[in-house]
Amino acid sequence: MGKTVSVKDLIRNKDKKNKLMLKAERTIPFILFALASISILTTVGIVSTLLYETFLFFREVSIIEFFTNTNMKPLSRVEPSFSILPLLTGTILISLVAMLVAIPIGLTTAIYLSEYASESVRKAVKPIIEVLAGIPTIVYGFFAFTFVTPILREFIPALQSTNALSPGIVMGIMIIPLVASLSEDAMNSVPKAMREGALALGATKLEVTLRVVIPAAISGIIASFVLGISRAIGETMIVTIASGSSKNFTFDITQSMQTMTAYIVEVTSGDAGAGTTAYYSLYAVAFALFIFTLLMNMFAGHISRKYREAY
Amino acid sequence: MSSLSISTELPLKKETTEQVNKTVVYDTKNLNLWYGNNHALKNINLPMYKNEVTAIIGPSGCGKSTYIKTLNRMVELVQNVRISGEILYREKNIFDKEFRVEELRTRVGMVFQKPNPFPKTIFDNIAYGPRIHGIKDKKILKEIVEKSLRGAAIWEEVKDRLHENAYGLSGGQQQRLCIARCLAVEPDVILMDEPTSALDPKSTLKVEELIQELKENYSIIIVTHNMQQAARISDKTAFFLNGEVIEYDDTDIIFSTPSDKRTEDYITGRFG
Ligand SMILES: Nc1ncnc2c1ncn2[C@@H]1O[C@H](COP(=O)(O)OP(=O)(O)OP(=O)(O)O)[C@@H](O)[C@H]1O
Ligand SMILES: [Mg+2]
């Protein structure tokens, strides 16, 4: 090396040395592709297993009955019968309660944090909210069963000790951080210039929030709702503990209900031997759950595309 | 549209007497502003007149944007801003508690340096202002939209795509759309902070012509870095330096026979 090494030389030399780098650069796409394939193959594997076992189930139980019958007695010795309806209503009702709690509270929290709170408040509050997201669901289940239900029963005497309402509310509380945090991110990423444009027209802060920021952030906000709903539908522990296992076909949320996921837990941990119809029903329910979530996501994607405001 | 023919070489004009009769829209009195400890505006005194274009020039960081944002109180969005003195808008102090800031901003529109349309359709962009001020009638909204777009000389270009997203427009069109959006609430004064600095020469020319037309009905205060632009389109020019107004006079005078050496140095490009 000479006495003076110019930056130019350094850069050039580095270029030459890095033949190896160049090779790596070429192979990296293949490695990435291989890794990406793993997730795709896993999905394909799971879905085809589901499909196959579901097919076996429907050889024994009529598909029409499965969707129209309202009796769910998988383990009955006398006359077992299978129906998705009680589980479907259970899942939908509990998720609905959860979203009725999570969406308004989550969204207002997001609005407050993104539009009204000062920087210091935001910095203090956000981590606290995110702690909520880190609590194990079993704790929430316990909380619903031993704390929320007794309190609710003070006000609603008809409430059963296991019911759909209490786990719904607690599940909603669990989902608040998800909705709040993701909606806040979406609102925060709306450029400041847009807010200024509206304020300069004489809009109040609320008008800016409702008519500029939220519409501009709507796809992110809807995405947060969808993730929330998906979590509600997929949530198992809270409902297993606090909602009991009655396979009631009812719309009365003061009663015990079972969700699809809770059913799967119950039957897997119970005494349905491999190869029995009850065992195969797990797959049918899981498959229904899969389709249900898929439809949910597609619907949300559609809504979010329809109202998207690109900037 | 005689903008381009305004000469910068005109001899001294017969002013003073004329000014007495003009309506003052904005009168700034002993205005001081601090960002934390940074004294950004120092004892500003400036009267601005109706149906005139007032240009604000000065080197970067001298407080032009700060001043223009103070006129509609947008500057208060910045944390730790402290203001003393008064700004009278039509004889009312804008810092008065009774003067709602939303009302002020409805009467005083603003066009920003970078076009900032809302991510909505062209129609909804223009209708935004009227809507928040309570106009719901579709027919009236339609009329307002057309009138505003015509007023901003962009109607012909967008009339067939009113329901497309505003972000599909070119930068120059977006800026005129923002001007139209501002016109839709029928303001009295329009503040413009370097409205053409992000535009190509052709769009710039269009906006300049537009400003000349708008002056018939509005009073315009414009910040610009472009000396020729200030000379072409403005009636009065204020030269800012380090947060102070060094000189304020008829544009012709500022550009031909400025009384302060620093003004002369600046407009002839010796610094800034
Ligand atoms: N948001 C802010 N917070 C703190 N200080 C600021 C802020 N905005 C501007 N300043 C300071 O105030 C002074 C004036 O800034 P201003 O933006 O008004 O200048 P300007 O004349 O518009 O400059 P330019 O021509 O570059 O736009 C500068 O010293 C700047 O650093
Ligand atoms: Mg500026």
Q: For residue A136, which phi and psi values (nearest 5 degrees)?
A: -60, 145
The average pLDDT across A133-138 equals 90
Query: How far are the Cα atoms of A49, A100, A164, A298, B110 from residue A259, in angstroms, in the given order?
Result: 22, 18, 9, 22, 55
Interface size A-B, in CB pairs within 8 Å, comes to: 76
What is the distance between the alpha carbons of residues A82 and A101, in angstroms, rounded to a whole number? Answer: 32
Both tokens assigned to A207: 């008008």
- Whether A191 has its CB under 8 Å from any CB of chain B: the answer is yes
Q: Which residue of A has its CA nearest to B110?
A: A200
The average pLDDT across B27-55 equals 96
> What is the pTM for the complete model shown?
0.82
What's the pLDDT tens digit per position in B107-118? Answer: 999 999 999 999
pLDDT band at A8 (very low <50, low <70, confident <90, very high): confident
> DSSP state, A213?
I
pLDDT band at B6 (very low <50, low <70, confident <90, very high): very low
pLDDT band at B12 (very low <50, low <70, confident <90, very high): very low
The average pLDDT across B91-95 equals 94
Q: Three-state SS string across B127-186, please?
A: HHHHHHCCCCCHHHHHHHHHHHHHHCCCHHHHHHHCCCEHHHCCHHHHHHHHHHHHHCCC
Angle between helices A218-234 and A85-111 (to 10 degrees): 140
pLDDT band at B4 (very low <50, low <70, confident <90, very high): very low
Q: Can you give the pLDDT at residue B131?
A: 95
What is the distance between the alpha carbons of residues B80 and B61, in angstroms, rounded to a whole number? Answer: 18
Residue found under tokens 């995405």 = A223
Average pLDDT of the residues of chain A: 89
Q: Can you give the pLDDT at residue A130?
A: 82
Q: For residue A180, which phi and psi values (nearest 5 degrees)?
A: -65, -45
Report whether pLDDT(B59) > 70.
yes
Pocket (CB within 6 angstroms of ligand 1) = B 35, 38, 40, 58, 60-66, 78
**Minimum-distance ligand 1 atom for the alpha carbon of B36:** 4
Query: Å from A204 to nearest chain B CA?
Result: 7
Query: Å from B165 to nearest chain A CA?
Result: 8
CB contact under 8 A, A201 and B119: no
The average pLDDT across B59-84 equals 95
Closest-CA residue to A197 (of B72, B34, B171): B72
Report whether pLDDT(A108) > 80.
yes
Q: Would you say B190 and B111 are in contact if contact means Cβ atoms under 8 Å apart?
A: yes
Q: Which residue of B has its CA nearest to A204?
A: B102
Query: CATH for B17-267?
Result: 3.40.50.300
Q: Can you give the pLDDT at residue A15?
A: 65
Q: For residue B247, which phi and psi values (nearest 5 degrees)?
A: -155, 140
Q: Can you give the pLDDT at residue B11?
A: 43
Residue A113 backbone class (left: φ over 0; alpha: ψ -120 to 50; beta: rest): alpha
Residues 6+ apart with CB under 8 A from A201: B105, B106, B109, B128, B129, B132, B181, B182, B185
Both tokens assigned to A245: 């296992």
Q: Can you give the pLDDT at residue B17?
A: 46
Greater model confidence, A141 or A74:
A141
Q: What are the residue ranges spanned by the domains of chain B? A: 17-267
Q: Can you give the pLDDT at residue B161?
A: 95
The average pLDDT across B161-171 equals 94
Q: Would you say B253 and B13 are in contact if contact means Cβ atoms under 8 Å apart?
A: yes
Q: For residue A310, which phi and psi values (nearest 5 degrees)?
A: -80, 140
Greater model confidence, A134 or B69:
B69
The average pLDDT across B28-47 equals 96
CATH homologous superfamily, domain A85-307? MetI-like (1.10.3720.10)
Distance in Å, CA B244 to ligand 2 centroid: 15
What is the distance between the alpha carbons of residues A27 and B87, in angstroms, rounded to a whole number? Answer: 66
Distance in Å, CA B32 to ligand 1 centroid: 14
Greater model confidence, A77 or A60:
A60
pLDDT band at B146 (very low <50, low <70, confident <90, very high): very high
CB contact under 8 A, A202 and B167: no
Per-residue burial over A118-130, b if 16 or more Cβ lie within 10 Å, else e, is: eeeeeeebbeebe
ipTM of the complex model: 0.87
What is the distance between the alpha carbons of residues B207 and B231, in angstroms, rounded to a whole number? Answer: 15
CB contact under 8 A, A216 and B77: no
The average pLDDT across A149-170 equals 93
Both tokens assigned to A31: 């490695």
Q: How many residues does chain A have?
A: 311
The average pLDDT across B170-178 equals 93
pLDDT band at B5 (very low <50, low <70, confident <90, very high): very low
Q: Can you give the pLDDT at residue A6?
A: 81
What's the pLDDT tens digit per position in B220-255? Answer: 999 999 999 999 999 999 999 999 999 999 999 999
Average pLDDT of the residues of chain B: 90
| Structural Rg of chain B based on CA atoms | 19
Both tokens assigned to B161: 């795509």
CB contact under 8 A, B119 and A216: yes
